[in-house]
Structure 1
Amino acid sequence: MGETMQAPSAAAEHARRHWLVDFSVRMIRTKPLGTVCGILLLLLMAVSIFAEVLAPYQYDLIRLQDILQAPSAKHILGTDHVGRDLLSRIIHGARISLLVGFSATFINLLVALLVGGTTGFLGGKLDLAVQRFVDAWIAFPGLLLLLTIMSVVGQGLLQIIVVLGVTGGIAGSRVVRSAVVAIKENDYFLAARAVGTPTSQILIRHVLPNIAAPLIIIFSINIGGVIMAEASLSFLGFGLPPSVPSWGGMLSREGRKFMEGAPWLALYPGLCLTIVVFSLNMFGDAMRDLLDPRLKGGQGSYGTAKVKHKRGFLARLLNPFNG
């Protein structure tokens, strides 16, 4: 009897140990576009981490003899109006964009979980009051709201991270709240409450795996949205200070001012923004399709392959009692 009990347990432990390999294979086979975008994002993260090593010049090095030089062997992407190497500034700008994107989106996710998860799980008058506040918040024009808040708190890296994180999290809480409310109506949730399962176990076993898809959507899409918002604020002069090499700032200052005579100053930062936001959206879409327990193996927007699994991948991963 002991050997019979140990065999399934050993098989389950072996399966959990190799979940990353299984997930990677499924990602490559069923989501080729998402895989390519994920690789691009990994390369961008590596570039941002080793910016000092990869950048050919200091991003703030002024060389007046090289003002507005076109792309060449010496300056691959050209120089700006004070002779700074554009490639070096774009490499360091990638670090700033990813730092703002990931940090603000992490705050975004925490706020959405706190507000949406709490109100959706508890319900009642608290849910009604908070949702009316969220409705009013969403109805206010987003860019105007950001401009108003940034004009009060001032420019700075920390300020823009906190402002973008909190404002986006309040809006994203509706998605989390809707997912939690939908889960509360399912039979397995009601059965778990009926037998007296602790709230913590209900959240881990039933709620978290089934709201993973909205969370992934919020995180992946909002990273691109946050990067674009930072670029927009910097473009309008309310984002990061001029000393910080952000892509939005490059577009706003030298890119806009010298667009006719030196189009590369706007072309390359804009191209980087486009590639990063597109890659984040496609990678997040692929992750959602693979991790959502309700999709039964990940047949999603890319359409063709179907991998047969009894339960969603993330549900098995988060629940150690699933064999």
Structure 2
Amino acid sequence: MTRAQAASEEETPLQLFWINFSQSWLAVFGLAVFCLIILAAIFAPWLSPQNPYDLAQLNILDSRLPPGSLSSEGHVHWLGTDDQGRDLYSAILYGLRISLGVGVGSAFIALIIGCTLGLIAAYAGGRTDSAVMRIVDLQLSFPSILVALMILAFLGKGVMNVLLALVIVEWAYYARVVRATALVERDREYMEAAASLALPRWRIIFRHLLPNCVPPMIVIATQQVARAIALEATLSYLGLGVPITEPSLGLLIANGYQYMLSGRYWVSVYPGVALLVTIIALNLVGDQLRDVLNPRHLK
């Protein structure tokens, strides 16, 4: 046995995963950018020169200042200000908190619901499988944006309402993917061995079947987070998302759209760039995860 072979056998699964993942510099770059975005959103109160939600810190005389301008109090607005005098740099950081919170939160809750129903449908089969998949097919037959608009038109604006709407339109994707993977794993030898030991069904499903469905779950979760962020921005842009007192990136873009033709591009463009960079970074990571976690590449 050569040294290279011995070294490869000593590598842990996590090390092998990182070696395969780091083969794409674009994916590594996307992961680094997304981590920076998360850190910027978490530490927004310390990184921002002002709190855009605090009316006492806003001055209407500083509205729509171009990038690099000085405020009436002598502060530099590096990205300019919006129509309410909010520092755009601060507004973007706080907007990232809402966009990421809604996107990651909705994807996590939808993952739990979708994966649970997908696993139960695949393992139980029969009428249970047919009933769950008919609901999934019905859900996926409508455009996600249309379903979300209908839900928010009934529930009204609000962060929690947007979160609920995104969960409702996302869970079916997880259910379908997990069910397809679980159907393949259900007939494996280890599943037959677990069933022959008369183990409880819940233990067979969540202890033996679930771990083998994790790779596709990770891939689709990454893609669904990016999709949820974009969908939330669209809903907020249309005026049915988060309220104006808690602006997300989509609402910031909508607030600045009316000033585009007057030359005040920064009010809408910079939040749009932040949204675009976030979604691209997530998609780069998701594309590489799809290749790395492909069952044909797993050892």
**TM-score w.r.t. structure 1 length?**
0.79
Question: Residues 16-55 of structure 1: CA distance to partner in whole angstroms, max 9, x if unpaired?
Answer: 9x65455444432x23221111111111111011101111
The counterpart of 1:72, out of the listed 68, 74, 93, is 68
Which residue of 42, 46, 66 maps to 1:49?
42
What do residues 116-154 of structure 1 show as CA deviations (whole Å, max 9, x unaligned)? Answer: 111111111111122112211211232121111112122
Which residue number corresponds to residue 238 of structure 2? 236
Change (3 A) 1:249 1:113: same
- The residue correspondences of 1:73-222 to structure 2 (distance < 5 A) are 74-194=76-196, 199=201, 202-203=204-205, 206-222=208-224
Residue 34 (structure 1) aligned with residue 27 (structure 2): yes
Question: How much does 1:83 deviate?
Answer: 1.6
Identity %: 33
Q: Does 1:59 align with 2:59?
A: no
TM norm structure 2: 0.85
Q: Counterpart of 2:5?
A: none
Contact 1:97 1:247 in 2 (8 A): yes
Residues of 2 paired with 1:288 and 1:198: CA distance?
32
CA RMSD after TM alignment? 2.5
Residue pair 1:59, 1:245 contacting (<8 A) in 2 also: no
The number of residue pairs the alignment matches comes to 282
SS at structure 1 position matched to 2:135: helix
Matched letter for residue 46 of structure 2: V
Aligned-residue offset at 1:105:
0.6
Indicate if the aligned counterparts of 1:70 and 1:78 stay in contact, CA closer than 8 A. Answer: yes
Gaps of 5+ in 2: 1-9, 70-75
- SS at structure 2 position matched to 1:211: helix
> Corresponding residue for 2:259?
258
Q: What amino acid is the match of 2:212?
A: N
Find the aligned partners of 2:114 and 2:203 in 1 and give their Cα distance. Answer: 21
* Shift >6 Å, 4+ stretches: none
- SS of 1:90's equivalent in the other structure is helix
CA distance in 1 between partners of 2:158 and 2:146 (Å): 18
Code of the residue aligned with 1:256 in structure 2: it is Y
- Maintained 8 Å contact 1:111/1:166: no
CA distance in 2, matches of 1:184, 1:191: 11
What is the alpha-carbon distance in structure 2 between the residues aligned to residue 20 and residue 107 of structure 1? 26
| Distance in 1 between residues matched to 2:183 and 2:151, nearest whole Å | 32
**1:168: how far off?**
0.8
Alpha-carbon distance between aligned partners in 2 of 1:205 and 1:31, rounded to the nearest angstrom:
33
- Give the Cα separation in 1 of the matches to 2:19 and 2:202: 32
* Equivalent residue, structure 1, for 2:4: none
